[in-house]
Amino acid sequence: MKNYNNTTYAILGILTTDCKSGYSIKQLIDQSLNHFWKISYGQIYPTLKIIVEDGLATVETSSHESKPNRNEYYLTSKGQETLKNWLEKPIEQIPIERNEILLKLFFGSSQSNEATVLQLTYYKQKLEARYQTYLSIEQAISINKDNDKDARYWLFTLDYGKRITKAAIEWCESTLEQL
C-alpha cells in the first residue's frame, strides 16, 4: 500500500465530513484543524488531484443556478480503507513544537529583562485570547454534539488544546514571577 503524507490523510479525513468541495475543505481547516495542523490553500487542490488519480476519491461536478460549477469529492472504499489503515497505525514520532518565545527566551541573556518581560506578557495575552477562542468553539460543538458523530472526537482534540494553552499560561505566570 502506498504511503501518503499527513496532509493527504487529513484531507481524506475531512472528506468523511460534510465538506466535499475544495472551498469547504479550506473552511474546515481554517476553523478547526488550523489550531493544530496547518494546511495551506495551495496544498488542497494538488492533494485532491492525487487522491482522485489514486482512486481514493471520485470527483463530481455539480452545477447550481447562478453559481459557477464546483467539484465535489467523495471517498471511495479504497479511500476509506486507506484512511482507516493510517488511523490505526501507531504514531511515528512525538511532535516537536517550534515556539518563537522559547527560542527568544533561550537567548534571553542577550536582551534586557524588561524586553523579556514585555514579550512574555504579550505571549500570555495571546494565549489567553486563544483559550477564549477554544471556549467559544467548545460551546458551538457542544450545542450540536448529539447530532454529529464527529463532535465527541472534536471535543477530545479541543480539550488537548485547552489544556496545553492553560499550561502555557501558567508557565508564563511562573516565569514572569521569576523574572
pLDDT per position as a tens digit, 44-94: 999 999 999 999 999 998 887 778 888 999 999 999 999 999 999 999 888
Spans of the chain below 50 pLDDT: none
Q: Are 124 and 177 in contact (CB under 8 A)?
A: no
Cα–Cα distance measured from residue 131 to residue 135, given in angstroms and rounded to the nearest whole number: 6
pLDDT value for 124: 98
Cα–Cα distance measured from residue 76 to residue 52, given in angstroms and rounded to the nearest whole number: 9
- Residue 136 sits at φ, ψ, to 5 deg, of -65, -45
Q: Are 56 and 80 in contact (CB under 8 A)?
A: no
pLDDT value for 1: 67
Output b/e per residue, 149-172; b: 16+ Cβ within 10 A.
eebeebbeebeebbebbeebbebb
pTM of this structure? 0.80
Cα–Cα distance measured from residue 107 to residue 118, given in angstroms and rounded to the nearest whole number: 15
Cα–Cα distance measured from residue 68 to residue 45, given in angstroms and rounded to the nearest whole number: 17
